[in-house]
Amino acid sequence: MSGFGVYVHWPYCSAICPYCDFNVYRARGRESAPLLAAIAADIEAHAARFGAREVQSLFIGGGTPSLLRGGEIEGLIEAAARAFPLASDCEITLEANPEDAALFAEHAAAGVNRFSIGLQALEESALKALGRKHDVQSALRAVEAAAATGRRVSADLIYAREGQSVGAWRAELQQALALPVEHLSLYQLTIEPRTAFARRAARGQLIAPDNDAAAELYEATQELCEAAGFPAYEISNHARSAAARSAHNLIYWRSGDWIGVGPGAHGRITHRGARLAFEAQRRPADYIEAMREQGVGWITETKLTGEEAGDEMLLMGLRVEEGVDLARIAALRGRAVDPNALRWLEQQGLLIQAQGRARLTRAGRVLANRIAAELAV
């Protein structure tokens, strides 16, 4: 079962990080109530149209939703629970910044049972370069504050940063692995278009590690995490146990269904035999206006073709350790994945086929997007 989830996008941040290409806006002077009301109404609109399926995951992301007070988070959870039955073990995740640690107890009391904390680095100069407002000590205190609530804790770190050596990353990662967390999301720095980092890179003011250096950093990541009992279950995600894996992200990677509410949120719903893709209005004011005038927050609704749905399943499914069901993808696409391409990838040590599934090896994971593009032909 791929499950069903609700994603809530809170678009406001106290500052915009130079590497970020998410749909985010500065929070200063913003009133929360109108957007919170619009999001609650959008959740109800989705339930009215698509039915009240049981929710395995409610993910409140952004942006920086940890800026919200406990009562406001509780209101979002209650809105979801009014529209959809929440599973007894529903994962309720809040993305959080370390500088909001004083609110974590409120968030936990509101119903959050999993914190995903954006540490991003455990080195002072790196935090400054990444535009983060916290320092290393406040990052460590934030993890302790989240753990003290008794809820699950995940932390994000970015590596393959400018000038980062393998030795420095190993020391930083060792420190992270010793923290009271059950899950780590470890992302290689990507220079995204239309970001401050992209503009700096275009001017020659930012030089990220080359592919060979990035691959060496990736190998060090896998080695250290496996040794510490944090094996990778997805290209960038590591967990102490199956129970500690991100239920919400597994819905994405397994091509399950989820609704996306809040400015710029995306959703995927299987309805009456069709795979529907949604994107909400991006600007908060437009989103609020759409809810007021039309009763729905999405700006686009697209019915995916079988080939599009199959290719998306291939791209996302190859990211996880379990790989993809080749028969399921063939049924959607109307044709099998090229057996010659699969066989060649096996010969190169990049992919393994067994029991009707294809999954990437560690070497293949580094090239996941390129391999998916090859197989989607």
- In order of their start, the domains of the chain are 4-251 (3.20.20.70), 318-375 (1.10.10)
d(CA 141, CA 98): 8
d(CA 238, CA 169): 16
CA 129 to chain centre: 22
Q: Which long-range contacts (CB under 8 A, 24 or more apart) does 336-344 make?
A: 337/375, 338/375, 338/377, 341/374, 341/375, 341/377, 342/375
Q: Which amino acid makes up residue 96?
A: A
Q: Average pLDDT of 314-341?
A: 96
Q: Which of 321, 355, 358, 362 is nearest to 339 (CA)?
A: 358
Q: Average pLDDT of 340-362?
A: 96
What is residue 29's predicted lDDT score, i.e. its pLDDT?
Answer: 84
* pLDDT range class, residue 55, cuts 50, 70, 90: very high
d(CA 101, CA 104): 5
Please say if the pLDDT value at position 15 is more than 60.
yes
Q: Dmax over Cα atoms in the chain, in whole Å?
A: 58
Q: Which residues are within 8 A (CB) of 41 and not within 5 positions of it... i.e. 6 or more apart? A: 291, 295
* pLDDT range class, residue 28, cuts 50, 70, 90: confident
Name the pTM for this structure: 0.96
Specify whether the CB–CB gap between 329 and 313 falls below 8 A: yes
Mean residue pLDDT across the chain: 96
What does R_g of the chain's alpha carbons equal in angstroms? 21
* pLDDT range class, residue 19, cuts 50, 70, 90: very high
User: In 3-state terms, the chain is what percent helix, strand and coil (to 5)?
Assistant: 45, 25, 30
d(CA 259, CA 201): 35
Phi, psi dihedrals of residue 68, rounded to the nearest 5°: -75, 150
List the structure tokens of 304.
């995916």
